[in-house]
Amino acid sequence: MKSNKSKIRIAYFAGSMKPGQDGVTRVLFRLIDWLNENDVENIFISSEIPSRNEQMTNYYEVPSIPVPFYKEYKFAYPGYKKFESKLKAFRPDIIHINSPCSLGLAAIKYGKKNNIPVVATYHTHFPSYAKYYNIKQLEFISWNYLRKLYNRCDRVFVPSISIMEELRDKGFKTTEYLPHGIDLNVFSDVYKSDTWKKSLDIEGKKVILFVGRLVWEKDLRTFAEIYDLLTNIRNDISFVIVGDGPIRRDLKKLMPEALFLGHKSGIELSTIFASSDLFVFPSTTETFGNVVLESMASGLVPVCSDEGGASNSIKHNQNGIVCKAKDSIDFSKQIISLLKDEERLKMLSVNCIDYASKQSWENIFSQQYQHYINVIENHKLNFFTIPSDSEIELVK
């Protein structure tokens, strides 16, 4: 198997490869580990790459400019001329894009021009963001653009069934279900610390945790409403927020007593997950929600919205709780009910760990690699297929 893996060369395109940037980059850095462990030749092309002492593979950075109003991300200059010579020297057998940005579009055009199959992962559900920016045409424009772009790919991996079904309803033709996995060495209940709460001066309190980018499309207004409801009726609850983003200052005003810890990673993040009491994630815009699986692996019971992909891993009242989308009252009732019932909370925690233990990255990436093989073989068959008489007549 290992010798077969080394026979294909894969070029990956990502909007950002800045360590810890978001859930997408965390997936990609775990993928790099797997590629290296299995001797798969690869290159990552992005508008932002790690510093030299953080580099784990072959990177190439393309020219870019900061995205207006969201300078944590960069916009790559359009077209493939900036990476064409690098890719020709690498000679990829397949191209994998991880963002529908200008760089992803350029990669598709390069693949079509050079007869290289292109696959994609649908990481971010951009059309669902429209309602947060009060631009009525944004959803329509997003669907049209994404449908045209992804239908030019040989295969589009979608990490949740509900999102895949929505995409198919919208006319996406090449979707394939492929969930995300979890690194069980990084996220585990063994990281639970008896002193973590004391270090934050919240000893004896129940911790409601949120981990993610601080943007309104994560439904953080709902989270702030939950904060208001719970802190007004109980004084033994502390809200802890891990992550950063453009609305951090505004969110602090809405949640003045909450603890904002900023970006965390490594053992520190593992400890936070394992040492909290509930993970509340109200987002309705996720394609998967990696943090939900991370909380489950840590033994931390997730409470999620019934819209979007975040709840796809959850069976209600078995390994988590699913609430009505954007309904802060329902979220609050479910949270209070859980905190009052320690036996049920423990049972759910055990089930979370059991579920997560079966979602290893090794299994997911092995499946993904086999998809690459199948796509490459199908692409060759289609390329060398002799056209029928009727097809020849159409060309004439």
What pLDDT band is residue 396 in, cutting at 50, 70 and 90?
Answer: very low
Same domain flag for 198 and 325: yes
Q: Which candidate, 145, 202, 196, 195, places its Cα nearest to that of 170?
A: 145
Same domain flag for 116 and 245: no
Same domain flag for 150 and 20: yes
Judge contact between 282 and 290, C-beta under 8 A: no
- Decide which of 160 and 298 is more confident: 298
371: domain CATH number is 3.40.50.2000
Same domain flag for 382 and 308: no
Same domain flag for 352 and 365: no
Least confident piece of the model among 302-311, 315-324, 325-334: 302-311
pLDDT exceeds cutoff 90 at 126: no
pLDDT exceeds cutoff 80 at 6: no
Give the count of domains, the chain.
2
Same domain flag for 312 and 247: yes
pLDDT (average), residues 211-215: 93
pLDDT exceeds cutoff 90 at 125: no
Same domain flag for 65 and 147: yes
Same domain flag for 113 and 250: no
Same domain flag for 317 and 334: yes
Same domain flag for 85 and 194: no
Same domain flag for 304 and 382: no
SS3 35: helix
What pLDDT band is residue 393 in, cutting at 50, 70 and 90?
Answer: very low
Question: Rounded CA gap, 281 and 273, in Å?
Answer: 13
Give the DSSP letter string of 85-140. Answer: HHHHHH--SEEEE---SHHHHHHHHHHHHTT--EEEE--B-GGGGGGGTT-TTHHH
Integer angstrom CA distances of residue 214 from 101, 219, 374 = 21, 10, 38
- Decide which of 189 and 310 is more confident: 189
Q: Domain limits at 306?
A: 189-356
Same domain flag for 352 and 364: no
pLDDT in tens, 231-277: 999 999 999 999 999 999 999 999 999 999 999 989 999 999 999 99
